[in-house]
Amino acid sequence: MSTATTGTTSGPAKSNPCPKCGKPLTDTAGLGWCSACGYCRSLEEHKDVLPPKSAAPVKKASVGGLVELGEAIGGLPRWVWIMVLGVLAFWCFSLLPNHQLPPNSLERAIWTTCQIVVGLLVIYCAQLLAMIQIAHEDEKLTFRDTLLPARLWTMTCKRLPRTYLPVWLGSWGLSMVLSALIFIGGLPYWLYYLPGSKPPKPGQTTSKNR
């Protein structure tokens, strides 16, 4: 009896050796596990059934990087879009007096001067607002920083988006000043009011420039 039992037990072990190390497999619940090297027959058999791991798709760069630029722009926060739209609005607004006012005229000089003054006032209000928001965070900030604002604007930009409001006002005021100088112009007309100079007659100026 003992001899038959031993032969029966040892037979399957020899008929199912481990393909890696040749040791007998422990066929627990049909796993076919080798205690010597860790081989598992069931895992090897189902390896082909599992879907292959797909590699991450390689993203090709577009010509000139235009697609990447568009994706970067599309990911900008809302406060940046509002700032940019405000700047564009002021630049477009400055195109109207540029076409409506006669060149080299008093009206054009007055419009440009007033727009520059308003833009500078908006910038100064933005600096006052920035001072109010961040003055408690730095004891070195003083009222003088609103007149010499390089350090103030540096600290304000570092605290974005919390300080978006003064950044809005500052960028819009700057766009008013620059668009008045670039698109409208006419400031040299004030030179006619210097001693010894005579302003040209409106009719002559208009006909000359047209």
Q: What is the pLDDT of residue 37?
A: 81
Average pLDDT over residues 13-27: 70
Q: Please indicate, yes or no, whether residues 130 and 195 belong to a single structural domain of this protein.
A: yes
The answer to whether position 194 is within a domain reads: yes
Average pLDDT over residues 66-95: 84
On whether the CB atoms of residues 41 and 25 are closer than 8 A, the answer is yes
> Averaging pLDDT over each range in 64-68, 71-75, 149-153, 205-209, which range is the top one?
149-153
The answer to whether position 64 is within a domain reads: no
Q: Please indicate, yes or no, whether residues 104 and 155 belong to a single structural domain of this protein.
A: yes
Q: How far is CA 76 from the centre of its chain?
A: 4
Q: What is the pLDDT of residue 200?
A: 62
The answer to whether position 54 is within a domain reads: no
* Residue 20 to residues 10, 25, 92, Cα–Cα distance (Å): 19, 11, 77
C-alpha closest to that of 128 among 80, 169, 174: 169
The domain containing residue 157 runs over which residues? Answer: 75-209
Q: Please indicate, yes or no, whether residues 36 and 79 belong to a single structural domain of this protein.
A: no
C-alpha closest to that of 32 among 19, 23, 41, 45: 41
Q: Please indicate, yes or no, whether residues 123 and 79 belong to a single structural domain of this protein.
A: yes
Q: What is the pLDDT of residue 51?
A: 58
Q: Please indicate, yes or no, whether residues 107 and 151 belong to a single structural domain of this protein.
A: yes
pLDDT category of residue 58 using cuts at 50, 70 and 90 = low
The answer to whether position 121 is within a domain reads: yes
Q: Please indicate, yes or no, whether residues 107 and 29 belong to a single structural domain of this protein.
A: no
pLDDT category of residue 18 using cuts at 50, 70 and 90 = confident
The answer to whether position 55 is within a domain reads: no
The answer to whether position 15 is within a domain reads: yes
- Is the pLDDT assigned to residue 46 strictly greater than 90? no
pLDDT category of residue 197 using cuts at 50, 70 and 90 = confident
Q: What is the pLDDT of residue 63?
A: 57
Q: Percent helix, strand, coil in the chain (nearest 5)?
A: 65, 0, 30
Q: Please indicate, yes or no, whether residues 22 and 113 belong to a single structural domain of this protein.
A: no
- Is the pLDDT assigned to residue 29 strictly greater than 90? no
The answer to whether position 139 is within a domain reads: yes
Q: Please indicate, yes or no, whether residues 33 and 81 belong to a single structural domain of this protein.
A: no
Q: Please indicate, yes or no, whether residues 85 and 23 belong to a single structural domain of this protein.
A: no
Q: Please indicate, yes or no, whether residues 99 and 164 belong to a single structural domain of this protein.
A: yes
The answer to whether position 37 is within a domain reads: yes
> Averaging pLDDT over each range in 93-102, 162-171, 194-203, which range is the top one?
162-171
Q: Please indicate, yes or no, whether residues 10 and 87 belong to a single structural domain of this protein.
A: no
Q: How far apart are CA 68 and CA 85, in angstroms?
A: 22
Number of domains the chain contains = 2
State yes or no: cis peptide before 202, omega within 30 of 0.
no
Q: What is the pLDDT of residue 84?
A: 94
